[in-house]
Structure 1
Amino acid sequence: MNQRPDIRQSETVLIPARRGIAAHVARGRTIQVINTHGKQVVDTWAFNADDIAEFMSMEHSHAALLKLVPKVGDTLVTNRRRPILTVIEDTTPGIHDTLIAACDVHRYQQLGAEGHHDNCADNLCLALQALGLTAPEIPSPLNLFMNVPVDPDGRLAFAPPTSEPGQHISLRAEMDLIIVFSACPQDMIPVNDMQPTDAHFAIV
């Protein structure tokens, strides 16, 4: 599992297909997440660098924003209701997901997978372990580029991402934090257009 605590400013870093990566980010820096091939979901977590028990929370962010999907200018908050990441740029159509839990071994068993299947929950834990850290739990991720349309009757669906190759979203760190990405390995429903691929990020 890759980890890069020593990332240089503006260096473009690979998020390998089906794998995870973690990095330290200083307050005020910007994280640019690039959908390199256009149809790849990137599960995203952020943890307080000084106290990993504090982390970006989709539930608390819903209450703070009164939105299902953050837009440019919106700030996501932690489970202690403090600012942690602000969306400052988005060149995609703005379709992201904050509702769906990270895929895990149980999800793939329910979908009929036999044997081991790569999953975002394991990717989070392994990426943090590479930095000498243990995930306190598996928080619900910010699923960048994921397309989960909500019908008027409240029903959800899984659809391919609407982003195009090279489009990106930029997030400003509102505290010293640890960012974790997983290039989602889901290949049994169309959230990655059925073909998981690499993505990239840069800290600028």
Structure 2
Amino acid sequence: MTESPTLYRIPPQSGAGFTLKRGDVLVVIDAWGEQVSDLMAFAADERGEWLSSGRTFDYNETIYLTTGHVLYSNRSRPMFTLLRDDVGRHDFLLTPCSTETFEILYPPGTADGHPSCFSNLVQALAPYGIQPDQIPTTLNIFMNVVVDESGRVRIAPPISTAGQQLHLRAEMDLIVGLTACSAEGSNGGTFKPIDYHVIPAGTPQ
């Protein structure tokens, strides 16, 4: 009998760091609905190789990533394959929210010590030797970014509902950072947890 994988919960406005082996499947779950999760990944054996939005858009020829698409590194190697997508809308255009995001876009900014996805990723990835300047554009899971005909982007509430999932198979050994997003505008005005678990490579699904 196969044991169920351990379910982890990322509290609102926080993050987690962990590793994946090639073939492991990362399952990201919107526990309560309308909650974004920022994901960043690095090659476990070479911290200079990371998840690249530009390469991913180039090779998939779309900005709307879903089941069957491959996510590439800055060195053009596959890092993840999307195996299951319950929502069908994620963002890979915008960078993780940071202190500067709140100061520039959402005054009065961080006077109240507002947490951010960038700072949470920095903290989660620091034990693996990842420096802040190595964290580029993240895959913003469940984030609903609308692009109009002029190219202007608008952040709308996520369309994800409670329990919906994204499954990503690791195509190499990885270091991963994952958050429960800290930006009010990205999450329908509230902050909620993100759940995840890992299905080990070779496990029947």
User: TM-score scaled by structure 2?
Assistant: 0.90
Structure 1 unaligned regions, length at least 5: 1-7
- Give the Å deviation of 1:60: 1.1
The residue that corresponds to 2:40 in the other structure is: 45
Cα distance in 2, alignment partners of residues 95 and 181 from structure 1: 18
Instruction: Answer yes or no: is the 8 Å Cα contact 1:101–1:140 preserved in 2.
Output: yes
The residue that corresponds to 2:118 in the other structure is: 121
Instruction: Answer yes or no: is the 8 Å Cα contact 1:40–1:192 preserved in 2.
Output: yes
Instruction: Answer yes or no: is the 8 Å Cα contact 2:66–2:89 preserved in 1.
Output: no
| Counterpart among 102, 110, 133 of residue 108 in structure 1 | 102
Confirm or deny that 1:133 pairs with 2:149.
no
The residue that corresponds to 1:175 in the other structure is: 172
Cα distance in 1, alignment partners of residues 47 and 29 from structure 2: 25
Aligned ranges 1:26-175 → 2 under 5 Å: 26-92=21-87, 94-110=88-104, 111-112=106-107, 113=109, 114-129=111-126, 131-135=127-131, 136-175=133-172
Cα distance in 2, alignment partners of residues 128 and 71 from structure 1: 26
- Give the Å deviation of 1:86: 0.5
Measured against aligned partners, the alpha-carbon deviations of 1:34-60 in whole angstroms (never above 9, x if no partner) come to 000111100001110111110111011
Superposed CA RMSD: 1.4
SS at match of 2:120: helix
- Give the Å deviation of 1:115: 4.0
* Structure 1 letter corresponding to 2:123: L
Measured against aligned partners, the alpha-carbon deviations of 1:84-142 in whole angstroms (never above 9, x if no partner) come to 001000112x010011111111111121122421001111110012x342235221000
Cα distance in 2, alignment partners of residues 98 and 128 from structure 1: 20
Cα distance in 2, alignment partners of residues 50 and 156 from structure 1: 36
Counterparts in 2 of 1:55 and 1:132: CA distance versus 1, 3 Å:
closer
Instruction: Answer yes or no: is the 8 Å Cα contact 1:9–1:203 preserved in 2.
Output: no
Instruction: Answer yes or no: is the 8 Å Cα contact 1:9–1:202 preserved in 2.
Output: no
Cα distance in 2, alignment partners of residues 89 and 73 from structure 1: 8
The residue that corresponds to 2:203 in the other structure is: none
User: TM-score scaled by structure 1?
Assistant: 0.91
- Give the Å deviation of 1:14: 0.8
Cα distance in 2, alignment partners of residues 71 and 115 from structure 1: 37
